[in-house]
Amino acid sequence: MSSSYEAPVALMRLALAQAAQTSGAHVIEGYGETLSAVAEPVLEGAARFAAEALSPLNRLGDRLPSHLELGGGVVTPPGFTAAYRRFREDGWASLSAPAERGGQGLPMLLAAPVTEMWAGANLSFAMCPELAVGALEVLRAHAPPELLERYAPRIASGEWTAAMDLTEPQAGSDLSLIRTRAEPHGDAWRLRGRKVFISWGDHDLTDNIVHFVLARTPEAPAGVRGLSLFLVPKKIPAHGRLEPNDIQALSVDHKMGIRASPTCLMAFGDGEGARGWLIGRVNEGLACMFTMMNHMRLGVGLHSLGLSERALQLARAYARQRVQGHDASGASRAIIAHADVRRMLLTMKALVHAARALAYTAAAALDVSQRAAEPSAREKALRRLDLLTPLVKAWCSDTAVEVASLGVQVHGGAGYVDDSEISQLYRDARIGPIFEGTNYIQAQDLLARKVFRDAGAALRTLLEDIGQAARALPQDTSDPLWLLREQLLQEAARLGETAAALMARPPEPDLIGAAAHHFLHWLGVLAGGWQWALTAANARAVPEAAQSRSLIATAAFYAAHILPRARLHQAVIERGAQALAAPPAEDI
């Protein structure tokens, strides 16, 4: 039986400080003081809650998934309702919610490690409160005052939860095919349609669930330009009580992972029609929903990071206690003594902290984009956030699959049986590259919108920062960090040149699609190295500390074992992308 999840609080502190410094958040008035005052109690308290309340339910939720009871709605696994009640009572639901809506108003940077902890301890549970973050931002940015006042405080406190309803049976990633209809009815609208794959679409943790639903109005144009966003509560607050709405869960999916998280087929308006209220303006629903989706994409990256950390913990513990083979003297030894096991563990360790530092940096950029006094600082941070969001979502979630897979390999046959938690982590991690827009969509977004659209300006700024971090490392070829320095400088130059060459090419139908995946992973590997350069430079300032020596050694490992992956991505973009456009579909 595996031990409980243990949050890596010391590494989280380092990543927090690094992200605040790198993003410029530390100079925002009151920001540094807030972090100094509350970071320690928040991290320590969240670590206890994750270990005591969430981690023990993780394996149970996998074995006894959420299920639909006829006439009674969705029932979550034993212990989940009590855990959520404590979650609310301890104040975790309101951590980053706006203070004016009853939340604590803490920075998103501080919420990032807490989100990582929830996912590392129990991803299925973590997905439920994460939806509230984006919901509150949608309400703040687009909802009329009466909706904001009625729903935001209850979502902020965790009294009610939120759900995001986009996908339909015929409309997966292509939202232009959405058929759910909304017709005006007095001061509200009546919605009718089906939504599939709705995470936490129904459950027994709270009395109410606030759905954010994309639908079409009667005169809406075709395609995504005809989508509007509606707030559709499971129960309508009226006359001091909650009245049922015409919404129901028809089924709960049986999934390969995150089994405790109810993924529902939702029916809107099988009777008189589900009452809903417009958010934003008619036909501008997709723009409103992207406010929520971008928050969720950062959340997917942080959730994937939490799974990666837990996989590393399990694999490292197993490698230290599993005896297999003998040393030169004939004495038996634990498998961590084998070079290839050390390679796998170090790969996991190097990738996990690179993902952590990068995801926290995106969270800090979000804070700066909202809190900086100078408009120019907010705009600069927003451009950085736009560039990092698809990277954090896709690179961190793909990394989680790789790390979890390595964790299974370290366990050997023991990792392939359901009795092992690492097998659950591998299954759970696989949803990350699919959630909130597949990673191919993220890669296209990165290259087409975040790089091509501004002629590479945001990318050049990031590459300049990477070069600056690299040049701060030692130039001495005998120093363990020299290779990291040289690799980063070379890769930043090569990526910049390749991006410029791509933008200079005549328009080609499959250029973006064929190059996007490898471009994203090239930038991801490079950005991870950037974070290791910053981490190693900080560690050099306290060379006597054992943790500093470990960090420097891992940074050197990243340079030798991870950064060379960039050569593959460059080669495919320059010489292999045409192969994707050449064969007709029937030849594949």
Across 561-579, b (16+ Cβ under 10 Å) vs e yields ebbeebeebbebbeeebee
pLDDT at 324 over 80: yes
Q: Is 284 a catalytic residue?
A: no
Question: What H or E segment, with its residue span, contains residue 152?
Answer: helix 145-157
Distance CA 429, CA 402 (A): 9
Per-residue tokens: 61: 């939720």
Confidence at 256, pLDDT banded by 50, 70, 90: very high
The 10s digit of each residue's pLDDT in 325-383 is 887 777 889 999 999 999 999 999 999 999 999 999 999 999 999 999 999 999 999 99
Q: Are the CB atoms for 340 and 380 separated by under 8 Å?
A: no
State the Cα–Cα distance between residues 406 and 529, nearest whole angstrom. 20
Per-residue pLDDT, averaged over 120-132, amounts to 96
| Rounded mean pLDDT, 197-218 | 97
SS3 13: helix
Nearest to 275 by CA among 134, 147, 174: 147
Burial class (CB in 10 A: 0-12, 13-18, 19+), 20: buried
Arithmetic mean of pLDDT over the chain:
94
**Angle formed at CA 348 by CA 344 and CA 354, multiple of 5 degrees:** 145
Confidence of residue 428 (pLDDT cuts 50, 70, 90): very high
Query: pLDDT by residue (tens digit) across 393-403?
Result: 999 999 999 99
The CB-side HSE value for 51 (13 A sphere, CA atoms) comes to: 13
Share of the chain above pLDDT 70, in %: 97
In this prediction, residues 97-126 reach a mean pLDDT of: 92
Question: Could you give the count of Cα atoms lying within 13 Å of 210 in the half-sphere of its Cβ?
Answer: 29
- DSSP conformation class of 436: T
Query: In b/e form, how buried is each residue of 403-425, taking b as 16+ CB within 10 angstroms?
Result: bbbbbbebbeeebeeeebbbbbb
How many CB atoms sit inside 10 A of residue 546's CB? 7
pLDDT tens readout for residues 518-571: 999 999 999 999 999 999 999 998 877 889 999 999 999 999 999 999 999 999
Residue 535 CA to residue 528 CA, distance in Å, equals 11
| pLDDT of 1 | 45
SS3 534: helix
Q: Tally helices (H) and strands (E) across the chain.
A: 17, 14
More confident residue, 102 or 232: 232
Question: Which are the contacts of 499, defined by CB distance < 8 A and separation ≥ 6?
Answer: 451, 456, 459, 519
Which sign, positive or negative, has the C-alpha torsion 273, 276, 278, 284?
Answer: negative
* Alpha carbon distances (Å) from 288 to 137, 194, 406: 10, 20, 39
Longest CA span, the chain: 85
β-strand 209-216 against 161-165: which pairing, if any? Answer: parallel
Name which of 221-235, 329-343, 451-465 the model is least confident about.
329-343
Quote the CA–CA distance of 276 and 376 in Å, as a whole number: 38
The CA distance from 89 to 528, in Å, is 37
Taking Cα atoms as reference points, which of 238, 88, 221 lies closest to residue 150?
A: 238
Q: For residue 70, is pLDDT > 90?
A: no
| Buried b / exposed e along 138-160 (16+ C-beta atoms within 10 A) | bbeebbeeebbebbbbbbbbbeb
pLDDT digits (tens, 9 = 90+) for 262-301: 999 999 999 999 999 999 999 999 999 888 888 899 999 9
Distance CA 81, CA 84 (A): 5
Helix (H, G, I), strand (E, B) or coil at 334: strand
Name the DSSP class of 585.
G
411 alpha-carbon distance from chain centroid: 26
Q: How far apart are CA 523 and CA 529, in angstroms?
A: 10
CB 225 within 8 A of CB 284: no
Exactly one of 436, 486, 508, 586 is catalytic; name it: 436
- Contact (Cβ atoms closer than 8 angstroms) between residue 229 and residue 280: yes
Query: Whole-angstrom Cα distance, residue 147 to residue 548?
Result: 50
pLDDT at residue 584, rounded to an integer: 65
